[in-house]
Homo-oligomer: A and B are copies of this chain.
Amino acid sequence: MPDPSAAKAALAAQKIETPSWAYGNSGTRFKVFAQPGVPRDPWEKLRDAAKVHEFTGVAPTVALHIPWDKVDDYGKLAAFARELGVSLGAINSNTFQDDDYKLGSICHPEAAVRRKALDHLLECVDIMDATGSRDLKLWFADGTNYPGQDDLRQRQDRLAEGLAEVYARLGDGQRMLLEYKFFEPAFYATDVPDWGTAYAHCLKLGEKAQVVVDTGHHAPGTNIEFIVATLLRENKLGGFDFNSRFYADDDLMVGAADPFQLFRIMYEVIRGGGYTSDVAFMLDQCHNIEAKIPAIIRSVMNVQEATAKALLVDRDALAVAQRSGDVLEANAALMDAYNTDVRPLLAEVRQETGLDPDPIAAYHRSGWQQHITAERVGGTQAGWGA
């Protein structure tokens, strides 16, 4: 059995980035259900994110989404975050909500649209310079809905050209995280549909280009931990967008649909040497019907629990069973950790770092929800479109 104190130290040092947009309204194509107390601007989003960090202790950074989080002075926003005890994280670009992007952004058949999209990406790097963010996270909605609609290969050429220009703009210590997605919003072909495509592009770009794994962006049945292990072996795993799904890109709370899968992913992260700051652990979720801040706290806790179990795997016993070809023993060694109730261990970690052992209860007691519900009246609530 691994040393619990080592596990506790690793857990105390964990860092999970929360996304600014998860604090705003979201929904499906059928309906966005607004919630009371939702932030109306980036400043209020940061306040909520700071609450998540306050109660969990492991969510010290907040990802921004441009243009949803556009402000006049990013230095001021970064300073405000620091005052709240958090800091600004990855910059997420958005090349899917402008009318011009109907047929794509940097893969669009028209050069003018590609230029516009590229200018936006370069602006995101400018923002990174101002915020001190390390990572530019690129997700492209680009793709086609009908066979023949556009030339699959030319779109790859345009993609490569665009990525190269952005890559060249990156400063020292800055990275580009390229996300892939199986489908949606494109329904026939997506221009970066799988890890192989993202990997191939990143390989050509260079070391600063890394693949980001969104846990909801795979075909049914895909073994995600295999991809994680493979990307770590190739030194190309830049980070995660955590969420969970039963069907498609459902964007549910991470760990809610398949907690065993999350555990297996975290095991491969740790086993592959990815439990470091080189891999960004980010949430990317939509809390369509559940209260947002508690949902994000729960998500952070779900990642913690999966991590704790992964840290408790008796890797020596596992290796012995694996080497001897004992299928049942090897499986049992892994399952023994998974079946452990790690909530007491995490409660200890929290208490030792001065936190309440039950972050959800503490949040509810704090009165923050009542506060924002009362205070944030009027104005336009933040959402995917704003």
Contacts and interface: CB of A to CB of B under 8 A. Distances in A.
B31 A327 contact: no
A164 interface: no
A163 to B, nearest CB: 14
Given A220-B219, A272-B153, A109 B323 contact: yes
A294 B331 CA distance: 12
A288 interface: yes
A226 B146 contact: no
Interface in A329-358: 330-335, 338-341, 343
B384 A148 contact: no
A229 B271 CA distance: 34
A305 B148 contact: no
A257 B188 contact: yes
The residue in A151, A157, A321 that gathers the most chain B C-beta atoms within 10 A of its C-beta is: A151
B225 A295 contact: no
Contacts of A219: 218-222
B268 A152 contact: yes
Task: Report, as a range, how many residues of chain A touch the other chain.
Answer: 35 or more
A193 interface: yes
Nearest to A291: B328
Contact of A148 (B183, B233, B294, B333): B333
Interface string A139-182: 00100011111111100110000000000000000000000001
The residue in A96, A248, A291, A321 that gathers the most chain B C-beta atoms within 10 A of its C-beta is: A248
A202 to B, nearest CB: 12
A368 interface: no
Contacts of A253: 146
A327 B145 CA distance: 9
B96 A256 contact: no
Ranked 8 nearest A-B pairs via Cβ: A196-B196, A148-B334, A219-B219, A220-B220, A187-B250, A28-B185, A341-B341, A146-B331
B245 A187 contact: yes
Contacts of A28: 29, 184-185
A23 interface: no
Contacts of A14: none
A295 B328 contact: yes
Contacts of A327: 103, 145-146, 149, 289-291
